[in-house]
Amino acid sequence: MQILILNGSPRPKGHTAAMAAAFAESARETGHDVHVADVCRMHISGCLGCDYCRGEGQGRCVQRDGMDEIYPLLERAEMLVLASPIYYHGFSGQLQCAINRIYALDKPKSLKCSALILSSGSADVYGGAIYEYRSSFLDYMGLEDKGIVTYDEEHGDFEAVLEKLRRMGRSLERDRRTISLEEFLAALDSGEPVRAGSPVSMKMHELSQEALRLTAELNGSYHSPREIREIFAELTGRPVEKGFGLFPPFYTDCGKNIKLGSNVFINSGCHFQDQGGIEIGDGALIGHGVVLATLDHGLLPEERHDLKPGRITIGKNVWIGSNSTVLRGVTIGDNAVVAAGAVVTKDVPANTIVGGAPARVLREIDPEKDRLK
């Protein structure tokens, strides 16, 4: 399920942010795709009440601001979580602005359920926020209530509240949707993070088993060039172009997002982590032991098991020297040469030689001086 949390606290290390994070983390563990929008940092203005959205705008607000980012998330979201400190017995002003601007969509089309997270200085101050939540979201939008969790600084046990939110995340039904290969590739090609336990990550696991089986077959004994082409076609799920050559062993834990041009040669011992997409142009030569890595892990500890994909594009006639590593999102221009042992972290201009870790341009290829003699 797609879950959108609107965090209305301006304090990044405050109680509301920690409460939203506790829920988000456990919901992700249950396989849901959770997006936390910090509305206080998004410059969202209040509704102008001009009704442009209800007429000429056809659901589009006349104002251009942080809501431009929120509207598509709202349209995709199946669950909306409102998280806010109590300010003067209601939501924070920034969250209230965002809520009022939902008016442009009237009832966001995918929303089915919602929850409310509130933090306050004292007890029994939630009436205003809960009234608005129940009247506007449960009654008017017809959403199912998944729970209201409050914390008051005077009397509350914060660790117990966080645990309650973790339980709430875990109690959401596990997202067991199975997705097709096409949906998987579309999700990876979008460059959006792949959350641990989500249907996309489950498909990734399924594909990795198939790839491990096929590469074991490829690497386990001698195969003729024709047999290698057949196994490689099965591994990538597409026909192999003319002039393709590969010296095993070859390693991949996906295979289905590799696209090769004609006359590509892959030398022995290469590792293609291709979930994020690997595209190799005509005539490219990939040296011994080259690693192409299209997935990064999250840097935040709570996102360490999530993945960020990015396509690696290798131009025509590129030569990648042995034991080089090319990282997520890099494009290598036509005819470029990557010196052995390089770690390529940034795009490489066409017709240049790069080397080092991180790789930098050493020089341009000279059509006269560099001719073989």
Ligand X SMILES: Cc1cc2nc3c(=O)[nH]c(=O)nc-3n(C[C@H](O)[C@H](O)[C@H](O)COP(=O)(O)O)c2cc1C
Task: Establish if 96 lies at the interface with ligand X (CB under 6 A).
Answer: no
Cβ distance to ligand X smaller for residue 87 or 133: 87
Q: Rounded CA gap, 258 and 238, in Å?
A: 9
Q: Which of 32, 43, 288, 297 is catalytic?
A: 297
Task: Establish if 153 lies at the interface with ligand X (CB under 6 A).
Answer: yes
Task: Establish if 125 lies at the interface with ligand X (CB under 6 A).
Answer: yes
Beta bridge partners of 361: 354
Cβ distance to ligand X smaller for residue 83 or 258: 83
Cβ distance to ligand X smaller for residue 120 or 236: 120
Task: Looking at residues 16 to 35 of the shown chain, list those that interact with ligand X (rule: CB under 6 A).
Answer: 16
Cβ distance to ligand X smaller for residue 91 or 272: 91
Task: Establish if 120 lies at the interface with ligand X (CB under 6 A).
Answer: yes
Task: Establish if 86 lies at the interface with ligand X (CB under 6 A).
Answer: yes
Among 64, 72, 88, 205, binds ligand X (CB under 6 A): 88
Cβ distance to ligand X smaller for residue 154 or 368: 154
Task: Establish if 87 lies at the interface with ligand X (CB under 6 A).
Answer: yes
Task: Establish if 198 lies at the interface with ligand X (CB under 6 A).
Answer: no
At 332, the amino acid letter reads I
Report, in Å, the least distance between residue 212 CB and ligand X: 46
Among 66, 85, 108, 277, binds ligand X (CB under 6 A): 85
Task: Establish if 89 lies at the interface with ligand X (CB under 6 A).
Answer: yes
Establish whether 297 is a catalytic residue.
yes
Q: What are the residue numbers of the active site? A: 297
Q: Which residues bind ligand X (CB under 6 A)?
A: 9, 11, 14-16, 85-89, 119-122, 125, 153
